Amino acid sequence: MSAWHSLYVFTSLSLKITLSDWLTQHGYSLYDPFNTLGGTAYSQTLRLFLAPALEDSVRILVDGGPLTEIIALAADLSHSEACLSVRLDGTSAQIVLYHERQETNDWMSIARRGVTLPHLQAARQFTGSTQVSGVIPIEDMPSGLRAMAQSVSQHQVGRLFQKMAQQVMNRSQQSAAEQFLQGLPRWDSADGQMLMTFMALLRVPRTWRETDFTTLRTAYWLHLRRHTQPRAPLLPGDEVALHRVPDALTYTPLYGGKA
């Protein structure tokens, strides 16, 4: 996973047909990566997971695709109901509200009851404390090290992980790992904390950022395999992945590709 990106459409209606039609109308061929062996190789893909409606909004998890097309999708989805686009790319956040296919600053229309405009303005200007550069966030570490966070600080765990990496990786491998981690969404960054502060004021589920696309994709495939092949053996780590998203099959994958 690179950037974390989700769209929230303020409706309780199903968007499956709407999203399928949008993909085909924009030149994408729909394909099912979970039930296909081989198939067409696409030079460009846009991958979506449609979550079940929760409260009065529907979440769409987004991966791949040019950012311009994701923005176009968000705008088109807002033709009758507001659509919120939330993105965290590394330490850089972007949050945009669309209505009637146009950007809007009418944040009060999707604010929780009791929230005022000054509350929203203060949240957008929120600058939380950013972790020391180079310390790896706990959520990006192996499960064994993540458990240590209950008794020690994230800074200490991050330094320990870096020390271990230096012992088992050469310099080129360490550099590649650092570049990979720098591209991951950093919720511990100032922008990441701003998003969490601001989103808490909006009419989205309290669990608005759970789960992420990669975790869901893995869990979805495993749950599907367990459903279709109940005797298939589990590999190390599969049980953990299954438990991370126990309701994975309630999501609808919508994948589109361009040759």
Structure tokens at 222: 């495993």
Question: What integer pLDDT is reported at residue 94 of this predicted model?
Answer: 96
Kindly report each contact of residues 191-195 with a partner whose C-beta sits within 8 Å and lies 24 or more positions away, as own/partner.
Answer: 191/88, 191/91, 191/92, 191/93, 192/88, 192/91, 192/93, 193/126, 193/127, 193/128, 193/129, 194/93, 194/123, 194/124, 194/126, 194/127, 194/128, 195/86, 195/88, 195/93, 195/95
Q: Which amino acid is at 74?
A: A
> Is 146:138 a contact under the CB 8 Å cutoff?
yes
Is residue 61 a part of any domain in this protein? yes
The residues pairing with 258 across neighbouring beta strands, listed in sequence order, are 44
HSE-CB of 191 using CA atoms within 13 angstroms: 13
Q: Are residues 196 and 104 in the same domain?
A: yes
| Entry pTM | 0.81
Residue 231 lies in a domain: no
Phi, psi of 111 (to 5 degrees): -80, 150
Is 239 inside a domain boundary? no
Q: What is the pLDDT of residue 176?
A: 44
- Assigned token pair, 52: 């079940």
* Domain region containing 159: 138-182
Domain-located, residue 41? yes
Residue-wise pLDDT tens for the chain (259 aa)?
579 999 999 999 999 999 999 999 999 999 999 986 666 789 999 999 999 999 889 999 999 999 999 999 999 999 999 999 999 999 999 999 999 999 999 999 999 999 999 999 999 987 665 444 444 454 544 444 444 444 444 455 456 656 666 677 666 555 544 444 556 899 999 999 999 999 999 999 999 999 999 999 999 999 999 999 999 999 999 999 999 999 999 999 999 999 8
Specify whether 57 is located in the same domain as 146: no
Q: Exposure of 141 by Cβ count < 10 A (0-12 exposed, 13-18 middle, 19+ buried)?
A: buried
C-alpha radius of gyration, the chain, whole number: 20
Copy the structure tokens of residue 155: 């800074």
Same-domain check for residues 99 and 206: yes
157 plus 194 within the same structural domain = no
Distance, CA of 232 to CA of 229 (rounded, Å):
5
Number of domains in the chain: 2
CA distance 48 to 25: 16
Name the DSSP class of 204.
S
For residue 130, tell me if it sits in a domain.
no
Q: Residue 64's CB: how many other CB atoms inside 10 A?
A: 18
Q: Check whether residue 27 and residue 77 sit in a common domain.
A: yes
Are 108 and 166 part of one and the same domain?
A: no
Q: How many CB atoms lie within 10 A of CB 2?
A: 14
